[in-house]
Structure 1
Amino acid sequence: MRRFIGTFLIMLAVIAACDQALGPVLGDAYSRVHRDEIGKLNYIADSARADIVILGSSRALHHYVPRIITDSTGMSCYNCGIEGSNIFLNYALLRALLQRYRPRVVVYELQYGYDAMRHSQANNPVNKIRPMRQLRCRDSMLADIDPMERVRMLSGIYPYNSLIAEIWLASHRSDSPYNNKLADNGYVPQFGVIKPQHEPYPKFTRELDAKKMSYLKKLVEQCQSRLIVVTSPYFDPQPDMLSVHKPVVDLCKAHHVPYIYLAQDPNLVGKAPCWDDAGHLNDRGARIFTREMIHRAKKARPQLLAPAGNKHSTTTIYNNTTTWRKKT
């Protein structure tokens, strides 16, 4: 029995040593990725430095065209949208940006299901926060979202255990939308047209998520004088969202943050040629939406959004090919 316990303890020690040795190796491999979604996350955390940044989920990624925003304002713009992200990941990205510089304007694409309501995969984007070694508040933020993360993060490989295949694939596959050569300043266009018998956009509960709302409040407080909150259109008219909509509106009003609510925009709701699916505009629709959004944003924040022709000195041109590095 004593021999068995001794052998077991030795095995545990070997496993722990391997874990701690492999963690930094995986971390370095992750940080060297410059393609695919991981490459974009690295770029946002390490290098992005645009006057205007767009934060949000896939509806940000596919709905906001930075070149139109730049043409209208004369300021550089980068789309930080990430598929499936919610308020937790977007707040982490904001904090990573603020560690390096302060954007002149932050546009937040608010999607109630991911940013305010309870959802069956509410914490799924947390796995994208764990590898963010650049983020100074990472550990405290993870522990706040889930107290057990404090214990799990003692493991060296835990932050990467669901991403090992993605780290390898990011340098080898070419079918990711993030590697599309048309991707421009973070924007990834869609070119499909919704079918008459389309799948409806997923329904969410109407119950507020207190933890999400607390992080939404933190995001508002972090950049309230520079922030514009937007909800872009859906293909189908949305049901009554008053139970969730009113608290968000009240939060924005309390901090004097404009909220541009275009979920029911008649110029796009139900207009099939402008939609890729029930929740995402195609490139044609995105360009219509972006023009309307920036028109309203300039009225809401005239002191921040300069007229076209007044170029800001930090305007940067970003690579629109298959990596997220700046042009040299």
Structure 2
Amino acid sequence: MINTQLKYTFAKVLKFIVIIFIIDFGLGFIAKELFLSQETGKFARSTYAITKAKENILIFGSSHAHRHYVPEVIEKKTGKTCYNAGADGQQLVYHSALQGMIFKRTLPELIILNIDENFLFKSEKAFDRLDDLNPYYDDYSNELDPVFNLKSKYADPKLFFKAYQNNSTLIQAVRYYLAPQETPQGYRPLFEKMTFDKLTSHREDIQEKEYTEEIDSVFVKTLENFINEAKTNNVKLVFVTSPNLIPRNVSKNKSLTEIKAIAKSKNIPFYNYLNSKDFANKLDLFYDPSHLNDNGARLFTGLLIDSILNDNKKHFN
């Protein structure tokens, strides 16, 4: 009698599990199709970079990459194809994962990594925002596991559910379907100009910082791995800091100082425009204190590429 009851209970549990997996598979399939159907927005850009991009030059970085590097200008000056794979709010761990997924399929000639001065400071947001990569887990688990495991040695069990992988993207898909974004070759321009009146509302952005944050050894290792992956695959790599509207003393910024030291030790060119005189205090070139508008971005991109071309004449001939 007891064995019969156990078998009955086990059969019901097994049936329940099977139903759950069937539902998950069905919902996950629909969500994945909706995800892949996006033609504009951040996920459409990342999907293109991961699954289709074959451009010679790729741009990596946060919003300062996404908003500051104009592929059209780069292509005209170099004769090479270019795509801007910058992602708003994302930090080194995201870019490392993106690099791994792209390298699985193709190798660009050059990666330009826009360096944010806080890249090496401890940040929980850097890990939390990796959720944007969940939809790619099925196809790129080998590339994503080492990055996801930086926060925890154990894989998030929710990633094994298809519906969960895409649950955060559905609202985005609807949003960009109703209001498509114009992002030519991944670049998303800003057109408004900064004014003195607007500047007063950005006091926290322009005041001098004390830089009391701590460096995270995980991020240091991530940056070193990013460099090593590029070198191993013979992909040329350069680091760049974008201009700020208001010049700041960053000599006590341990993160930026460490990044410069790593770049020097690894022989990575570092182009520092952070306090460039071509942009300092020029309101007409900025959208806000740390983001160039389209005019500023085109000027910056042109100056940067001219410098890179002058330093790498053989590479671009």
Q: TM-score, normalised by structure 1?
A: 0.82
1:150 is aligned, of 156, 161, 172, to 156
Alignment pair present for 1:244 and 2:258:
no
Counterpart in the other structure of 1:298: 309
Residue 275 of structure 1: how far off its partner (Å): 0.4
Does the C-alpha gap of structure 1 residues 206 and 95 become closer, same or farther in structure 2, counting only changes over 3 Å? same
Alignment pair present for 1:70 and 2:80:
no
Q: Residue deviations 1:83-115, cap 9 Å, x none?
A: 1111122122222221222111110001133x3
Residue 25 of structure 1: how far off its partner (Å): 2.8
In structure 1, distance between residues paired with 2:86 and 2:285: 20
In structure 1, distance between residues paired with 2:74 and 2:115: 18
Q: Residue deviations 1:234-267, cap 9 Å, x none?
A: 1122343441222111211222110111111111
Q: How does 1:30-49 map to 2 (within 5 A)?
A: 30-49=35-54
Amino acid at match of 1:47: K
Q: Which structure carries more helix by proportion? A: 2
Amino acid at match of 1:299: N
Residue 282 of structure 1: how far off its partner (Å): 0.4
Counterpart in the other structure of 1:60: 65
Counterpart in the other structure of 1:322: none
Alignment pair present for 1:98 and 2:103:
yes
Does the C-alpha gap of structure 1 residues 141 and 244 become closer, same or farther in structure 2, counting only changes over 3 Å? closer
Amino acid at match of 1:152: K
Counterpart in the other structure of 1:314: none
Q: Which runs of 5+ in 1 are unaligned?
A: 307-328
In structure 2, distance between residues paired with 1:297 and 1:70: 13
In structure 2, distance between residues paired with 1:68 and 1:205: 38
Which range is displaced more, 32-41 or 268-277?
32-41
Q: Residue deviations 1:189-229, cap 9 Å, x none?
A: 11111232141439675321222222111111111350011
Residue 42 of structure 1: how far off its partner (Å): 1.1
Residue 40 of structure 1: how far off its partner (Å): 1.0
Q: Residue deviations 1:100-140, cap 9 Å, x none?
A: 22111110001133x32123522232011111144341234
Aligned-residue RMSD, C-alpha: 2.6
Residue 148 of structure 1: how far off its partner (Å): 4.6
Asked whether the equivalents of residues 104 and 304 of structure 1 are also in contact (C-alpha less than 8 Å), the reply is: no
Does the C-alpha gap of structure 1 residues 192 and 54 become closer, same or farther in structure 2, counting only changes over 3 Å? same
Asked whether the equivalents of residues 105 and 304 of structure 1 are also in contact (C-alpha less than 8 Å), the reply is: no
| SS class of match (2:49) | helix
Asked whether the equivalents of residues 110 and 231 of structure 1 are also in contact (C-alpha less than 8 Å), the reply is: yes
> Rg bigger for which structure?
2
In structure 2, distance between residues paired with 1:101 and 1:120: 31
In structure 1, distance between residues paired with 2:191 and 2:167: 34
Asked whether the equivalents of residues 67 and 188 of structure 2 are also in contact (C-alpha less than 8 Å), the reply is: yes
Instruction: Calculate percent identity across the aligned residue pairs.
Output: 21
Asked whether the equivalents of residues 235 and 278 of structure 1 are also in contact (C-alpha less than 8 Å), the reply is: yes
Which range is displaced more, 119-128 or 282-291?
119-128
Q: TM-score, normalised by structure 2?
A: 0.84
Asked whether the equivalents of residues 53 and 106 of structure 1 are also in contact (C-alpha less than 8 Å), the reply is: yes
Aligned residues: 297
Asked whether the equivalents of residues 63 and 89 of structure 2 are also in contact (C-alpha less than 8 Å), the reply is: yes
| SS class of match (1:153) | helix
Alignment pair present for 1:212 and 2:219:
yes
Q: Residue deviations 1:164-199, cap 9 Å, x none?
A: 21123332223xxxx22xx32211111111232141
Asked whether the equivalents of residues 229 and 259 of structure 1 are also in contact (C-alpha less than 8 Å), the reply is: yes
| SS class of match (1:33) | coil
Q: Which runs of 5+ in 2 are unaligned?
A: none
Counterpart in the other structure of 1:319: none
Does the C-alpha gap of structure 1 residues 288 and 26 become closer, same or farther in structure 2, counting only changes over 3 Å? same
Which range is displaced more, 8-17 or 122-131?
8-17
Counterpart in the other structure of 2:188: 188
Amino acid at match of 1:153: L
Asked whether the equivalents of residues 74 and 305 of structure 2 are also in contact (C-alpha less than 8 Å), the reply is: yes
Counterpart in the other structure of 1:226: 236
Q: How does 1:250-269 map to 2 (within 5 A)?
A: 250-269=261-280
Residue 305 of structure 1: how far off its partner (Å): 2.9
Q: Residue deviations 1:144-176, cap 9 Å, x none?
A: 3333543231222222222221123332223xx
Counterpart in the other structure of 2:130: 126
